[in-house]
A = this chain, B = another copy of it.
Amino acid sequence: MRICVINPNSSKSVTDHLRNTLNKIKRDDCELTVICPEHGPVSIESAYDETIAAFYVMDLVKKANEDGYDAIVLACFSDPGLDAAKEISSIPVIGIEEATLHMAAMLGHKFSIMTGMERRIPTRELHITIHGLSQSYASSPALEMSVLEMDSNPQKAKEKIIELARKAVKEDRAEVIILGCAGLAGYSEDIERELGVVVLDPSSVALKVAEAMVDLGLHHSKVGRFSFPPAKEIK
């Protein structure tokens, strides 16, 4: 099977990091392409960033369909453009947030989402509402580090996450920890060892869900919400 992973931000280094991480866990029978758009924000930390990134992702989604991929993974924890991508795609599109929230809901009573900046907590709450998983949601502790900082100082990010996750387990009774920051793909095992609870790396979870969907011959329903957009003039 061939899976196309689209990193919606335009950062080559994040894309490279993601490729390395996912290549280690992909199945042998899975051929992986990990790309990002040429244009758009180098990190996604606001609704504005999401809006710009979603626009540039559209062409990559179309191309992955034309190039005969079996599935697309959209690798930003805010799932920017996910609904639109599903509409214009006949192959399954898996958002890493969506896949991870549902997986987390099966693995423990409540989960907490490690978040970059406090300003994004409302976004997390909004997406939990959209996915209907409020009763599985514990909290979204904020590292107060930008994606850039996490990238340049991964050790500090890891320590901060361990501190916040420990607090979430104790005070919010989180049983599962989600690393809601793409820049941290690949660190979940270290953190899990340290904390003793389940830690989810969203990109990894989504890749495995994608492989499972391809195995099952599944795709999102093309009836209703994700049906192809009506043809029209786009100036």
- Least distance between A128 CB and chain B CB atoms (Å): 10
A180 in the interface (beta carbon within 8 A): no
B230 touches A117 (CB 8 A): yes
Copies held by the complex: 6
CA distance A146 to B232 in the complex (A): 10
- Give the chain B neighbours of A169 by CB distance below 8 A: 223
- Give the chain B neighbours of A42 by CB distance below 8 A: 232-235
A13 in the interface (beta carbon within 8 A): no
B216 touches A108 (CB 8 A): no
B230 touches A146 (CB 8 A): yes
- Give the chain B neighbours of A211 by CB distance below 8 A: 212, 215
Q: Which one, B40, B176, B189, contacts A221 given CB within 8 A?
A: B176
B54 touches A51 (CB 8 A): yes
Say yes or no: A45-B229 contact (C-beta < 8 A), given A105-B132, A175-B221: yes
- Least distance between A82 CB and chain B CB atoms (Å): 9
Per-residue CB contact flags for chain A residues 192-216 toward chain B (1 = under 8 Å, else 0) read 0000111010001100110111011
